[in-house]
Amino acid sequence: MNRLYRAYVGLLNAPQNANGWRAISLERFGAFEVRLIEFADTGVADEADIWIELFCHDTQSSLDSCRCQGLDTAEPLAEQLVSRAQSLSRSQSDSGLP
């Protein structure tokens, strides 16, 4: 998944928010976005705080997320969340909801 690796590189350059974490979008379908998140530095050198999250912009909430040990581990999880986001968006469009 090339977009995962591109997003990870982009994440390194993304600005931190007020809470000290960074996020970058992998894919967005309507209100549903899959994003890569790096939390604030934990002070533990070996701990990779990289998460993949399925976020709903309509409710401003996380629908699902998972911590990944590396990009190889993250790849199938990202694909699952992207597929789920696409399906949720399609369902929302079919139901006529905004």
Task: Summarize pLDDT for 86-97 with one digit per residue, the tens.
Answer: 999 999 887 766
Predicted model pTM: 0.82
Task: Summarize pLDDT for 49-75 with one digit per residue, the tens.
Answer: 678 999 999 999 999 999 988 888 888
Confidence class of residue 42 from pLDDT cuts 50, 70 and 90? low
Confidence class of residue 25 from pLDDT cuts 50, 70 and 90? very high
| Secondary structure of 48-60 as H, E, C letters | CCEEEEEEECCCC
Give the model's pLDDT for residue 45.
42
